[in-house]
Amino acid sequence: MEKTLVLLKPSCVERNLIGEVVGRIERRGLIICGMKMMMLDEKILREHYAHLADKPFFPILAQSMMASPVVALCLKGIDVVNVFREMTGVTNGRKAQPGTLRGDFCVSGSLNIIHASDSVENAEIEINRFFKPEEIFDYTPANMKFIYEVDEL
Ligand code: IDP
Ligand code: MG
């Protein structure tokens, strides 16, 4: 089943929103198969945000991502990369639809509380960046038969 990488950014952790976000992930029916708190450093952020390294805002972004620990999550589900990107909302919190995590919990274009992988290919790279293989747990939740119909699996 597909997996995606989620980071609860310092703007989530510091604003005491971990439970709100994790609660919504659980209530939606997405499977949490990896979860840990970690402090990011410049090296991992240069890799993770390589597509933004030339942007003028990169130093501020990197600092904001090192302001406190983050919570890294690996989620599992059918089409979970897209499902969770839709739950996250667009990058700028001021433009994110109400009902999305960004649209409900932030109003910044930078301090937008969550990172979510944007493709299946990037999800695989990002899961390997933030988790060791033994930190990912491929269990099947007991309520699985009430989350997906048999013909979806
Ligand atoms: P995404 O997080 O919605 O995938 P990306 O374009 O990959 O958006 O950018 C990564 C992160 O960089 C954003 O979540 C946001 O924190 C920050 N960022 C993106 N664009 C801007 C900007 O124009 N100004 C300030 N920060 C930005
Ligand atoms: Mg992105």
Q: How far is the CA of 137 from the centre of ligand 2 (A)?
A: 25
Angstrom distance (rounded) from CA 99 to CA 88: 9
Q: At 137, is the pLDDT very low, low, confident or very high (cuts 50, 70, 90)?
A: very high
pLDDT tens sequence across 34-82: 999 999 999 999 999 999 999 999 999 999 999 999 999 999 999 999 9
State the pLDDT at residue 38: 98
> Tokens in use for 117?
């992988």
> Tokens in use for 68?
């406190």
Q: What are the boundaries of each domain within the chain?
A: 2-152
Q: Which of 113, 115, 116, 130 is catalytic?
A: 115
Q: At 140, is the pLDDT very low, low, confident or very high (cuts 50, 70, 90)?
A: very high
Is position 115 annotated as part of the catalytic site? yes
> Tokens in use for 120?
């299946």
Considering the segment(s) 2-152 as one domain, its CATH architecture is 2-Layer Sandwich (3.30)
Which residues have beta carbons under 5 A from ligand 2 (an ion)? Answer: 118
- DSSP structural state of residue 144: G
State the pLDDT at residue 44: 98
pLDDT tens sequence across 143-153: 999 999 999 99
Strands (E), 1-54: 3-8, 31-38
Report phi then psi at 148, rounded to 5: -125, 140
Q: Is 115 in the pocket of ligand 1 (CB under 6 A)?
A: yes
Angstrom distance (rounded) from CA 149 to CA 152: 5
Angstrom distance (rounded) from CA 61 to CA 53: 10
Beta bridge partners of 76: 3, 31
Q: How far is the CA of 110 from the centre of ligand 1 (A)?
A: 6
Q: Is 118 in the pocket of ligand 1 (CB under 6 A)?
A: yes
State the pLDDT at residue 95: 98
pLDDT tens sequence across 104-126: 999 999 999 999 999 999 999 99
Q: Is 112 in the pocket of ligand 1 (CB under 6 A)?
A: yes
Q: How far is the CA of 36 from the centre of ligand 1 (A)?
A: 23
- Compute the mean pLDDT over every residue in the chain, rounded to the nearest whole number: 98
